Amino acid sequence: MNSNIKYRSSYILLYTILWPILLISCQQKAAEITEIRGVYGNPKPFWDKKLNLKNLGVNAIFVHSGSITHEMVNRARSEGLKVFAEFATLNGKNYVEKHPEAWAINEKGEKVEAASWFMGVCPTEPGFREYRFSQLRDLLSEYDLDGVWMDYVHWHAQFEEPEPILPETCFCDHCLAGFSEATNIQIPDGVTEEKARWILNNHDESWRSWRCQVIYDWTYEIKNIIKEIKPEALLGLYHCPWDDQEFNAARYRILGLDYDLLKETIDVFSPMVYHRRMGRAPDWVEENISWFSNRLNISKDAYPKVWPIVQAYNDPGIISNEEFETVLKGGLAGKSSGVMMFTTSAVADDAGKTEVMRSVYNKLQEKSTN
């Protein structure tokens, strides 16, 4: 692992050589996909109601990788739909309990507790990395997919709350050794708490930058696996939608998400603009996507693209039809070239929301074909 995260002199030359080829590939894919009208979740709730997704204006489904079946893919193809798999990248639930060496360690030298409902994992632990990469290879080899969307791509934390949970991690032996090797910073001897305090007091900027490189490395490795097995498939990213200043720059500082790095590997960014979950007004979705489009200098004619995911699910509170329409349209703001909603069951089980989605998506389809 440590040799993989010597950021990344040997790969820089290779990337320089391959970048023109990758750029041509991205431009070709950009011409093929004009907009995405998506649903997130198993499409079965719609199909159980005898609804054809194409007739609802939908042209893509985004489904958790563990729920995908050949029958689902075949039916989606019969309705003219693209199929994208959500890949729960750094979710350590059910793994760290069996593999304690992958448990994230906080600045006190203690195992972290679950952050709300999320249990992260140490992203540098070699065994976990191989476990996830093997799962991805199996997924791509088994199913005909149009792309893979990385999810839970951040250091252990919880941003999907009005008051986020933002612990300092990870100070396990793997991370300390990796940081020292990558930066040539020699960490003094001592217990973990002492080492963590010394790093944060003396090399905080280098520490934050290295952590972002670790997350970027995950996207780099996963993109390479996709190119190896299914070269035309897209790499997407579900991610925290905070701007550069929110919560004292916590997106970069705590979560380890550096947009300027990630846009080198990610084909499609999908900001998780769950307004109710995050205590925001519906109009915030449009504001955020407009800001994000400018922040990344997005162009609708090239990659990376922006396809946000908005909230339809009634938690907390009830999302009205009007509110759902506002956030769905807000997800198409700025230079967004697509949108999807969370979740299929939340819309399929509500006739009003189904009609809102059908109306917005069909108008979007008409606009794109004129």
Cβ neighbors of 185 (< 8 A, separation 6 or more) are: 179, 199, 203, 206
- As a whole number of Å, the CA-based R_g of the chain is 21
Closest to 171 in 3D by CA, of 100, 253, 105, 102: 105
| Structural domain contains residue 258 | yes
Closest to 360 in 3D by CA, of 19, 57, 108, 93: 57
pLDDT of residue 81: 98
Closest to 129 in 3D by CA, of 178, 162, 163, 165: 178
Distance, CA of 37 to CA of 339 (rounded, Å) = 6
- SS3 (DSSP) at 31: helix
| Structural domain contains residue 63 | no
| Structural domain contains residue 61 | no
pLDDT of residue 175: 98
Residue at 125: amino acid letter: E
In whole angstroms, how far apart are CA 87 and each of 9, 214, 238, 257? 28, 18, 10, 17
Contact 176, 207 (CB under 8 A): no
pLDDT of residue 19: 42
| Structural domain contains residue 332 | no
pLDDT of residue 23: 43
Q: Name 163's bridge partners.
A: none
Task: Kindly give the parts of the chain with pLDDT less than 50.
Answer: 1-32
Contact 147, 268 (CB under 8 A): yes
Digit-coded pLDDT (tens) for 107-152: 999 999 999 999 999 999 999 999 999 999 999 999 999 999 999 9
Structural domain for 87, as ranges: 2-37+70-266
Contact 150, 87 (CB under 8 A): yes
| Structural domain contains residue 24 | yes
Contact 160, 274 (CB under 8 A): yes
| Structural domain contains residue 365 | no
| Structural domain contains residue 354 | no
Whole-model pTM over 0.85: yes
| Structural domain contains residue 11 | yes
In whole angstroms, how far apart are CA 369 and each of 44, 295, 362? 28, 28, 11
State how many domains the chain has. Answer: 1
Distance, CA of 352 to CA of 328 (rounded, Å) = 14
For residue 87, the surrounding DSSP H or E stretch is strand 82-88
Query: Both ends of the chain: CA-CA distance in Å?
Result: 51
Place of tokens 């960014």: 269
